[in-house]
Amino acid sequence: MKSLVFIMDPLESVNPIKDTGFDLMRAAYQLDYRIVFIPMGGVSKWNDQIRFSGNIVVPSDSDLENPFIIGDSVEISDAEITAIFIRKEPPFNSTYLTLTWLLDHVSIPVINSPSGLRTVNEKLWCSQFTSIVPPTLFTRYKADFQLFLDEHKTVVVKPLNGFGGSQVFIVNQGDTNQQVIFESVTNNGSEEAIVQTYLPDSKNGDKRVLLLDGEPLGAVLRVHSNTDHRNNMFAGGTTEPAVVTESDLYIISILKPHLLALGLRFVGIDIIGDKLIEVNITSPTCLQEMSRFNKEDLAVKVIKEIMNV
């Protein structure tokens, strides 16, 4: 039987009405693949063989309280697997890094490529494309931060390896708490922060575009609540329909050859106005929302494209 492995956070943490990993599992099951859930730590190397320890699962969107039927425990080798999906949420830590090293030894498709995952920091990597990103500073030094703030007057400060909208601050020149914010985000100068000039278009939301093999699947606009400036869904943001514009396509055209060369097949990019903010490769989301807005099962499209069926 054709088997797809999904390496994910614990199943009880999955929200079946939002989670993209769940949606991909459901679509794959509908296409007659056996679904194998592997927790972090469930991958081993025995001599020249990679082994996976987990459970067979049946995803179901008919019971939102119990979205998985958890079956037998299994131990399978890479020779028994058709493809592997890494859907582990950030942070990218030592456990995640070890996983990518282990998966370097398999010869089947891994979505996304282990070497690509190691190469691309979701905030830092895209800063090389200076024509399509806002003015950006990466630093742990207060003096650098102060000079950048003095130049741009209003900036956004966030951790280099943050996710889900955690510790994202808007700072204005002259704010009395500006140094405290920078100390907090950099863990008292022991870690880098990303500082970007504030984009007024962020008041209207930020656009998430999902890419499959460098081509857009669709887009949604993530909009903040009335009590928070952050558009992230983890921070209470909501989604609205959006279209992929000519400006978005220009950004995509610049990124596509680099993403393909790195084996990054399923990617989410975040755009504010006409500027690229982040490239999400570890566990890009919003596939379910796009499917509902587009009235198309995009998860099935992803599985078919990746499996070449």
Q: Which residues are catalytic?
A: 123, 158, 208, 222, 230, 270, 278, 280
**Nearest-angstrom CA–CA distance, 188 and 179:** 10
* SS3 assignment, position 55: strand
- Tally DSSP H helices, then E strands, for the chain: 8, 16
Q: Going by C-beta distance under 8 Å and a sequence separation of 6 or more, which residues neighbour residue 55?
A: 36, 37, 70, 71, 72, 73, 74
Which residue in 18, 83, 93, 89 sits closest to 282, CA to CA?
89
Residue the block writes with tokens 């390496």: 7
Which H/E stretch holds residue 39?
strand 34-39
**Nearest-angstrom CA–CA distance, 249 and 125:** 19
What sign has the CA pseudo-torsion 235, 22, 9, 265?
Answer: negative
